[in-house]
Amino acid sequence: MAGTDEMSTAALSVSQDGQALVLKAHGDWVVRTLSAVDQQLRELSIPRGVRAEFDLSDIDRADTTGAWLIERTRLALHDAGSVTLTGAPSGLDQLLDQVSNAYADTDTLPPRGLSILNSIEGLGRGLVGAFNEGLHLLSFTGRTIHSMVRWIYMPQRIRITPIIYHMEQVGLNAIPIIALISFLIGAVIAFLGSDMLREFGAQVYTVALVSFAFLREFGVLLTAIMLAGRSGSAFTAQIGSMKGREEIDAMSALGLDYVELLVVPRVIAMIICLPMLTFLADIMGLVGGGVVLFIFEGISPVQYFIRLENVTEIQHFNVGIIKSVFFAAAIAIIGCYQGLKVEGSAESVGQRTTLSVVEAIFTVIVLDALFAIYFIQIDY
């Protein structure tokens, strides 16, 4: 190729001169050419008490890697016996010095433990880390509640504008997607339910199934999971990028309480919006079920409505709405908490956002299970 410097290959010849082992280097000893010579040098058998001579006079060019191979070989020969370097071209001497200085510091690489011990250690660290994370989250929840309670005593500190802004983001903008998926899930439940119950000739109970399932569980769970993915993650990303740019530190330095400014408005907006969206999801789920029953089972909307009124008790609806408040608090607090745990890089924002969604959905489902046991125990 025009303009590219010609590069000769590196070579090493080994010979025996009486008692002495003679190594002679040829060609360009640069990183591009040394792969084979490296292998040759590694496999070189060095007898104990060797007297060696390393002739460098035929080297055309050497870079740090070439110098390192020479230095490595010299050290090995030196350990086994004695060695003299001869004929080093000017410049290579200096390079050899520099390389030997640089590498002198590096032979204390940190020891690696046994892999099974490492994984046990990792398990232990993970458990302790999860426990500590739980404690931190609990203390953060306490701090958030404290700030919220303070607002009750000092209503003039309540910040309406950010609450309204977040309500728009969390609530208003989520209406179409929540309505759509609730409608579809309601339709699916009605469809599967009526298909199943037909075998017992009990299609008419499908109405009870849809209303019971949606009002108690599906409406609120769907909404909560949707908002955990949609808004909980957004909270983490927003607060996380602020943390990354030291904006949170700037707030603290200016004497502002970031929990009050950033966390509380988001938590309140979520607590207001999630129950409202749950209500919407309930309605849309029932509508979806009604549409399916009308089309496939011939139950007219009027019949559906009367049936619904007969089988549905208000406490089913209450259970869903009561749960939604707690889910809302959990999602918002976890989202903000993870945002505040971001450190430095954009990569950390991504990790924390994932973690926030996973943790929020996990918490919602665990809470849901606890609520199920609780409401059955009190027979509500």
Partner 1 sequence: MAGYGSNIISIRGLKNQFGTQVVHERLDLDVHRGEVLGIVGGSGTGKSVLLRTIVGLNRQRAGSIEVFGTDLTKLSDDERREYETRWGVLFQDGALFSSLTVAQNIQVPLKEHLNLSPALMDEIAALKLGLVGLPPDAGPKYPSELSGGMRKRAGLARALALDPEIVFLDEPTAGLDPIGAAAFDNLILSLKKSLGLTVFMVTHDLDSLQAICDRIAVLSDKRVIVVGTMEEMLRFNHPWVREYFHGPRARAALDAKT
Closest approach of partner 1 to the CB of residue 253, in Å: 21
- Residue 105 or 199: the one with the smaller Cβ distance to partner 1 is 105
* Member of 99, 137, 248, 361 binding partner 1 (CB under 8 A): 99
Q: Is residue 150 a contact residue for partner 1 (CB under 8 A)?
A: no
Closest approach of partner 1 to the CB of residue 97, in Å: 8
Which residue from 371, 338, 369 is spatially nearest to 355, judged by alpha carbons?
338
Q: Tell me phi and psi for residue 7, to 5 degrees.
A: -125, 120
Residues 69/73/78/84 CA torsion (nearest 10 deg): -80
- Residue 17 or 107: the one with the smaller Cβ distance to partner 1 is 107
Q: Are 64 and 95 within 8 A, CB to CB?
A: yes
**How many CB atoms are located within 10 Å of the residue 270 CB?**
32
Q: Is residue 105 a contact residue for partner 1 (CB under 8 A)?
A: yes
For 293-318, b where at least 16 C-beta lie within 10 A, e where not — what string? beeebebeeebbeebbeebbeeebbe
- Residue 168 or 347: the one with the smaller Cβ distance to partner 1 is 347
* Member of 15, 42, 301, 362 binding partner 1 (CB under 8 A): 42
Q: Is residue 106 a contact residue for partner 1 (CB under 8 A)?
A: yes
Stretch of 26-34, 129-137, 153-161, 299-307 contacting partner 1, by CB under 8 A: 26-34
Closest approach of partner 1 to the CB of residue 104, in Å: 8
Q: Which two tokens stand for residue 116?
A: 């099974």
Q: Is residue 4 a contact residue for partner 1 (CB under 8 A)?
A: yes
* Member of 25, 30, 274, 330 binding partner 1 (CB under 8 A): 30
Provide the β-strand partners of residue 17: 20
Return the residues of window 107-146 that contact partner 1 according to CB under 8 A: 107-110
Q: Tell me phi and psi for residue 289, to 5 degrees.
A: -60, -45
Q: List the Cα angle 372/377/380 in 5-degree steps.
A: 75
Closest approach of partner 1 to the CB of residue 258, in Å: 23
Provide the β-strand partners of residue 55: 24, 86
Q: Is residue 64 a contact residue for partner 1 (CB under 8 A)?
A: yes
Q: Which two tokens stand for residue 233?
A: 């993650």
Q: Is residue 101 a contact residue for partner 1 (CB under 8 A)?
A: yes
- Residue 103 or 212: the one with the smaller Cβ distance to partner 1 is 103
Q: Tell me phi and psi for residue 109, to 5 degrees.
A: -70, 145
The residue count for binding partner 1 (CB under 8 A) is 39
- Residue 108 or 156: the one with the smaller Cβ distance to partner 1 is 108
- Residue 72 or 159: the one with the smaller Cβ distance to partner 1 is 72
Q: Is residue 32 a contact residue for partner 1 (CB under 8 A)?
A: yes
State how far the Cα of 228 lies from the Cα of 170, in Å rounded to an integer. Answer: 10
Q: List the Cα angle 137/254/337 in 5-degree steps.
A: 15
The contact set with partner 1 (CB under 8 A) reads: 1-5, 30-32, 34-35, 38-39, 42, 63-65, 68, 72, 91, 94-95, 97-99, 101-110, 343-345, 347-348
